[in-house]
Amino acid sequence: MNRDNIVLFAGNASQTLAARIAQQLMQPLGFIQAEKFSDGETRIEILENIRGRDIFLIQSTGPPANEHLMELLFMADACRRASAKSISAVVPYFGYSRQDRRPRNTRGPISAKLTADLIETSGISRLITIDLHADQIEGFFSIPVDNVYSSPVLLGDIWKQKYDNIVLVSPDVGGVLRARAIARRLDNADLAIIDKRRERANKSEVLNIIGNVDQKTAVIFDDMVYTAGTLCNAAAALKEKGANKTLLMLHTQFYQGLQLTELRSQSWMNW
């Protein structure tokens, strides 16, 4: 791919990130207009000639997920109809990734699969994302998917701080494989699991801590946080089990009413 042939477009959800990427690449952002009609519908217009160009659309699809997802799809469709050579979507936060399967005894959709279908139909030829909530989502696509892991960056901070007696804590059973892989990179650190029960959407209860965390530095890697209720409960449970300190490593922003003061009240860094 010829660097001079690249055009970067920023969606409304990722303006700051797009500006930083453009700065690193010493590449100006392309001219695109993303606004709303009076009835709330999304309006997209490409304001430059992109015929034969390699397009990169930078747009997370986090809250409001529907609005940001449709904006991404319309941006891609506009680029396709403007005869772009290729369209790559940089989607750090992949919305609907928690709905990667149909829960047992329900009649719900597999929203992550439908989202993948919509992305492909819009004309996007490659997806670049960070820490998919479920690895199987990559298999929902027939186009190339680059699932970039944030753990090397986050691990760098742990190594720099030289924490002793670390135990990796998986926030749920589904994150055990990821936590085990990270633990191996920390000199085969011990592993613990937060056993929780989900009562309803965005509401769960910590039942138990599986594993020994006594007199250890507990490190939780998580890919998405909404209300922080589970994390605060987990912090309390880890403290009760004897953890000296709890570190929370996140790659996403805080969403849906997460109060930083609530996390700070748990004294994450001072146990």
198-225 CB burial, b ≥16 within 10 A, e <16: eeeeeebebeebebebeebbbbbbbbbb
* Cβ pair 58, 93 in contact under 8 A: no
Token pair recorded at residue 204: 């769960």
% helix, strand, coil for the chain, step of 5: 35, 25, 40
Cβ distance 201 to 230 under 8 Å? no
Angle at 29 between CA 27 and CA 32, to 5 degrees: 155
Q: Which residues are catalytic, by number?
A: 196
List the structure tokens of 173: 């059973």
